[in-house]
Structure 1
Amino acid sequence: MKTLTLLRHAKSSWDDPISRDFDRPLNAKGRRAAVMIGRQLKSLDLRFDHIVASPAVRVIETLDEVWSGYGRKLEPVWDKAMYLASAASLLDLVHALPEAADHVLMVGHNPGLEDLVLDLTLDGELRERVEDKYPTATVAQMTLPVDRWPDARAHSATLVAFIRPRDLDPTLGPDTP
């Protein structure tokens, strides 16, 4: 059995005058949410033996804040293919994950992460929440009934957790600054 955890980057700032979307930083709310998610990952005793992440600034900053809350910094493999990747491209990355890795964290962007969860998972209440919305700084964790990553297939995974920042702190919901 393999476990795949997906983390969407935290809320980014549209206020900074930047020339490329890739360089967009987090805003204050995004930083708070990422720290809170890191604390939650620690409280659930989630451990990762492999991390792959988009090298976009907002993802790098998200992970910095998550590690602050988690209490320990873990080094990801930065993969440009994660930047704004489609679900199909992300599944290709899943299929190429190291065999020795049993619990992987992928950190990136929507709509690819949301679509990957919907493509991989079986129907259920948590999946319906993903269909409704996969907000920034949200974690989705799935267990896959496979021993090898290349065997991951559509509609076979079980969604075991879907954690939104607003579930941990209502002030991190969509209606607050």
Structure 2
Amino acid sequence: MKTLTLLRHAKSGWDDPVARDFDRPLNAKGKRAAAMVGRHMRSLGLAFDHAIASPAVRVTETLEQIESGYGRTIAPAWDRRVYLASAATLLDVVHGFPAETQSVLLVGHNPGLEDLVLMLVADGADPLRDAVEDKYPTASIAELQFDAGSWEDIGSATARLTRFIRPRDLDPTLGPDAD
């Protein structure tokens, strides 16, 4: 069995005057949410034998905060293909995971992560899938399990969505901002 955990970067600062989207940092709420998600990951006993991530600043800062709560170093392989990748590109990345790995963390961006979940999990009466389809918020985790012997065997409708954790599920103050 293979387990793929998808983590969307935490909330970034749109008001930060960076020249490139790639360089956009987290805002204070994003830092707080990522640290809380890291603590929750630790409480669940989540462990990964491989990690891969977009090298964008908001992803690297998300992982720093996740690690502070998680209590472990994640040390991902940084892969530029993950930056703003489509679901199809992300699936190509998944197909290239080392054969011996069983549990992988993939850290990136939307809409690619959300679209990947919706591609890999069959449409049906699944409240977790419905929640992902409704919105895959920043700093959220989706855990997918596959009855596959190889990462290359993973394709459309082959996953079970076993967890979908949003920061607001852990702390309501981390939910959407009220306008």
Match of 1:160 in 2: 162
Match of 1:169 in 2: 171
Give every structure 1 segment of 4 or more consecutive aligned residues whose post-TM-superposition deviation is greater than 3 Å: none
> Matched residues in 2 for 1:128 and 1:94: separation?
23
1:174 deviates by 0.4
Q: Counterpart amino acid of 2:33? A: A
Q: What SS class does the counterpart of residue 6 from structure 1 fall into?
A: strand
Matched, 1:11 2:2: no
Query: TM-score of the superposition, structure 1-length normalised?
Result: 0.98
Q: Counterpart amino acid of 1:74? A: I
Matched, 1:36 2:36: yes
Match of 1:107 in 2: 107
| Runs of at least 5 residues in structure 2 that lack an aligned partner in the other structure | none
Deviations 1:30-87 (CA, angstroms, capped at 9, x unpaired): 0000000000110000000000000000000000000000011121000000000000
> Matched residues in 2 for 1:41 and 1:138: separation?
11
Identity of aligned residues (%): 64
> Matched residues in 1 for 2:64 and 2:26: separation?
11
1:176 deviates by 5.6
Q: What SS class does the counterpart of residue 52 from structure 2 fall into?
A: strand
Match of 1:66 in 2: 66
Match of 2:81 in 1: 81
Q: CA RMSD in A?
A: 1.0
Match of 1:27 in 2: 27
> Matched residues in 2 for 1:131 and 1:15: separation?
28
Match of 2:97 in 1: 97
| Runs of at least 5 residues in structure 1 that lack an aligned partner in the other structure | none
1:131 deviates by 0.5
Q: What SS class does the counterpart of residue 162 from structure 1 fall into?
A: strand
Deviations 1:81-100 (CA, angstroms, capped at 9, x unpaired): 00000000000000010001
Q: Which region of structure 1 is more displaced relative to structure 2, 98-107 or 120-129?
A: 120-129
> Matched residues in 1 for 2:73 and 2:2: separation?
22
Match of 2:143 among 124, 141, 144: 141
